[in-house]
Structure 1
């Protein structure tokens, strides 16, 4: 496919959403997306945060930490997230060692390549982690940067990744199933409709139905690099069904991807 043709395929439609997008499912036996607010129990977001999706795709592309924020910035990317399994959690106690610089020790002496690791003789600290059980999310993504979009498509098609993908914590390894590249079609403008994805910034537009559960959470959406590493610049509030079923939404623009109704952010 020529560059001009590819540009046409991934260009924004002018309706606030892209013409086409890539779609995949990320899943694993465990997941943990640490909530920003502190607690004795290290709680997890139920919906994989947009910033975590960006980090996951940066790992696929081989982009270094703090080097991908502009690529996934607002206006330069679009992401829709759909839970495809009922969301379940449990509390799991874990014994941990401090990774603060004062608690690390070098394995090699001066003048040699040195690797610093936590002191194995130090006392462990036990923390309770709230973890997701068998989480799975269908993700639709578009990137404005054509070269990166094409590279991501090639990596997903070949089933390759520069870094090992995970669902939050590095020990929660993930699998990525690529579904393909699909047209993005407008199906609703200010109409009542069932939406399969989590719905961003539209809590007041959810139409509650008997027997249908709806939960809400706010999670990081966009970040920028700074002198201290990175800073969250914007949060998104998601409404979602923890049973991985659609929600009825009234009065927001919805699009169709591969026969599913989703909302991008």
Structure 2
């Protein structure tokens, strides 16, 4: 089986947690739906039109952290939205003049994900992608693999979550992958908690930075998050590999560069 392998890169990211409203919290790792949205955008799919085509039954995604990352929090001066007119800033409360428009804003704590070394480094998220539609795979491979250092987009520009966090794709290639029947997995990719039985006790916990995160695997046709959509995962935020003991009958996948588990339902 062939997978499309590439790295999502950027200097800053914000993967907003879907339940965060009073503060704009961010995941460390791009959710699966974010990766799918990036690829659908490069293919020119219209917003909200591709959820069935990129459902968990149709495609699989593995994603990890390839370099040390960290978070910073900044206080942002955002629009205070209480009614439709507030969305574009046209509302002027209590008859205030335009110079007093700041009264229609609110202070909001926003998390940003940045490289461990912001001056010299970049965010790096290794990704593996597989789709049942071989024509779609070929189209993506042509866009991402055929032009080293560049790629074409039929739709939106690539962003790591928020539109202002522009990113790029690096090192895209097609790789042959095989299913491995073993309960020992060492990987820098995220692992579903439901597949993990424990950690390799021969490895010191001082050598890894283990995080529990949540990812959203898919939306339904109405852009609704369902119980099936949410999955708890384990990941290291410093780019090091973690040695997992897997539950029985949980296979993983291996190509010439990495071992990994696909996120979402069984595959």
Partner of 2:240: 245
Q: Are the aligned partners of 1:203 and 1:216 in contact in 2 as well (CA < 8 Å)? A: no
The farther-off stretch of 46-55 and 36-45 is 36-45
Is 2:230 aligned against 1:235? yes
| Residue ranges of structure 1 left out of the alignment (5+ in a row) | 1-18, 105-116
Alignment match of 2:85 (pick from 99, 102, 122): 102
**TM-score, structure 2 as length reference:** 0.80
The farther-off stretch of 209-218 and 241-250 is 209-218
Alignment match of 2:220 (pick from 221, 224, 238): 224
Alignment match of 2:195 (pick from 171, 184, 202): 202
Query: Using the alignment, how far apart are the partners of 1:225 and 1:102 within structure 2?
Result: 28
TM-superposed deviation, 1:257: 2.3
Partner of 1:169: 162
CA RMSD of aligned residues (A): 1.9
Query: Using the alignment, how far apart are the partners of 1:147 and 1:38 within structure 2?
Result: 37
The farther-off stretch of 251-260 and 164-173 is 251-260
**TM-score, structure 1 as length reference:** 0.80
**Higher strand residue share:** 1
Pairing 1:72-91 to 2, within 5 Å after superposition: 72-91=54-73
Question: What is the CA deviation profile of residues 58-110 of structure 1, one whole-angstrom value per residue up to 9, with x for unaligned ones?
Answer: 11111111111112212210111011111200001222225652225xxxxxx
Partner of 2:109: 128
| Residues 185 and 253 of structure 1, relative CA distance in 2, 3 Å threshold | same
Question: What is the CA deviation profile of residues 163-208 of structure 1, one whole-angstrom value per residue up to 9, with x for unaligned ones?
Answer: 111000111101111431000123x323223122111233444335
Q: Are the aligned partners of 1:71 and 1:143 in contact in 2 as well (CA < 8 Å)? A: no
Query: Using the alignment, how far apart are the partners of 1:132 and 1:101 within structure 2?
Result: 30
Query: Using the alignment, how far apart are the partners of 2:85 and 2:197 within structure 1?
Result: 48
Partner of 1:147: 135
Partner of 1:61: 43
| Moved >6 Å (runs of 4+) | none
| Residues 39 and 231 of structure 1, relative CA distance in 2, 3 Å threshold | closer
Query: Using the alignment, how far apart are the partners of 1:168 and 1:238 within structure 2?
Result: 19
Which secondary structure state, in structure 2, belongs to the residue aligned with residue 65 of structure 1? coil
Which secondary structure state, in structure 1, belongs to the residue aligned with residue 238 of structure 2? coil
TM-superposed deviation, 1:40: 4.1
Query: Using the alignment, how far apart are the partners of 1:203 and 1:70 within structure 2?
Result: 29
Is 2:255 aligned against 1:257? yes
| Residue ranges of structure 2 left out of the alignment (5+ in a row) | 92-97, 116-122
TM-superposed deviation, 1:39: 5.8
How many residues matched?
Answer: 231
